[in-house]
Amino acid sequence: MVMISPSLLAANFAILGDEVRSITAAGADLLHLDIMDGHFVPNLTFGVPVVKALRPVTKLPFDVHLMVENPDLYVEPLAAAGAEMITVHVEAALHLHRTLQAIKGFGLKAGVALNPATPLCTLEHVLSELDLILLMSVNPGFGGQEFIPGTVVKVASLRKLLQAAGVAPAIAVDGGMNRKTAPRVIAAGADIIVAGSAVFGAPDVKEAITALRGEHCR
């Protein structure tokens, strides 16, 4: 079944602990944590201390999406803070293979994120290292943006490419996911849906998560 990873970026930052408890109770599978440094993307969010502070609040695996200029700086501190998965951008990691090795060296799952304009061929030489491939379906930096429709074809191409290569990292899609767009990328082969505003902005968080999976709970 497809997994839902609510993005904390859309939560109420004044009550982060309560927000995390809420999506845990509502049946989320992972917690997506968007770390931005104001350099790789034109926005700042939060850093390792927030990840650490939230660790005792939930048992959900922490799916950290690093949108920073130098991801290597954060691998060890994030491992110590309790992250389970770290995803770095192929556009930011100067020595991508080394960074992935470092993540796995701490016993964590390693992911690579691709911006909308970045082709799938950039993954060719690291495919066997990956637990997760995150396709951005908006330009990274902000929540609440509109889904880029070309992502559907990109997901389908990635699914084919992985089959041909005989590897099986999870495919995640991040940005503009809602109850209309999520079923389209799921049908194309996505395993994980990352959603911020569609979850935290919903009046009924449990219903929102169920709807993103393409199921109906009532």
Q: Does 174 qualify as catalytic in the annotation?
A: yes
Q: Considering only residues 114-143, where is the footprint of ligand DX5 by CB under 6 A?
A: 138, 140-141, 143
- CB of 34 or CB of 129, closer to Zn ion: 34
> In angstroms, what CA-CA distances link 150 with 76, 162, 188, 200?
35, 19, 12, 25
Q: Has 34 been annotated as catalytic?
A: yes
Catalytic residue among 29, 34, 37, 191: 34
Q: Are 205 and 17 in contact (CB under 8 A)?
A: no
The active-site residue out of 29, 37, 131, 174 is: 174
Q: Does 7 bind ligand DX5 (CB under 6 A)?
A: yes
Please give the DSSP secondary-structure letter assigned to residue 37: B
DSSP assignment letter at 97: H
Strands 170-174 and 192-195: parallel
The encoded tokens of residue 67 equal 């949108």
- Please tell me whether residue 32 binds ligand DX5 under the rule CB under 6 A: yes
Instruction: Count the site residues for Zn ion by CB under 5 A.
Output: 3
Backbone φ and ψ for 40, nearest 5 degrees, come out as -65, -35
First-last CA distance in the chain: 19
User: Residues 148, 194, 209, 212: which binds ligand DX5 (CB under 6 A)?
Assistant: 194
Choosing from 11, 28, 30, 34, the residue that interacts with Zn ion (CB under 5 A) is 34
Q: Which of 10, 62, 65, 81 binds Zn ion (CB under 5 A)?
A: 65
Q: Are 55 and 81 in contact (CB under 8 A)?
A: yes
Q: Which residues bind ligand DX5 (CB under 6 A)?
A: 7, 9-10, 32, 34, 65, 138, 140-141, 143-145, 174-177, 194-198
The catalytic residues are 34, 174
